[in-house]
Amino acid sequence: MTSMRDRMLAGDLYQADDPELARDGARAMRLTHQLNTADPTDATTRHRLLTELLGAFGEGSDLRPPFRCDYGYQTFVGARTFANFGLISLDVATVTIGDDVQIGPNVQLLTATHPVAAGPRRDKWEAAKPIVIGDNVWLGGGAIVCPGVTIGANTVVGAGTVVIRDLPPDVVAVGNPARVVRPVQP
């Protein structure tokens, strides 16, 4: 029989209160607590904790606490990426963040989906769709990236923007929902 964790990793419906997933979530909570309460000037400890928590944490990257995630091992951060205070990565599905990405404060990367039908929702079924943030993307403060979205390389997402559909490379997008307003200048 397929475990709930295997179902989650495959992108199928699963129940988040499964004991194996609860253990994975508790691990992430323990490590994020250590990260969020560590000396903020201790980059070595922060790097060690992020390397242990995340699926990948690229060379020269920095993620300022506080940080929150569901599991950690589903979040992959490229090289030279910077995330300001308050990043939330609900990494039920994979969250892939490219190289040289700039993430403003209080950005939310949300992979989880839930059934609209009352019965399955009441029975605690959920699923997820991966998020991909391309190289050299800038996500302005308070931006929200919804499940299944890919943001192309070099794209700028304005502060407070809600991204519900893929964005192509080399554009500026703003609003709720996000709309492309112009190309990025070279």
Q: How far is CA 84 from CA 35, 44, 95, 129, 141, in A?
A: 14, 17, 17, 24, 9
Identify whether the C-beta of residue 14 lies closer than 8 Å to the C-beta of residue 7.
yes
Cα distance between residue 92 and residue 11, in whole Å: 9
Cα distance between residue 143 and residue 58, in whole Å: 22
Q: Catalytic residues, which ones?
A: 114
Cα distance between residue 65 and residue 84, in whole Å: 8
∠ CA 151-164-104, rounded to 5°:
55
Letter for the amino acid at 26? A
Q: How far is CA 80 from CA 99, 116, 161, 173, in A?
A: 6, 39, 24, 23
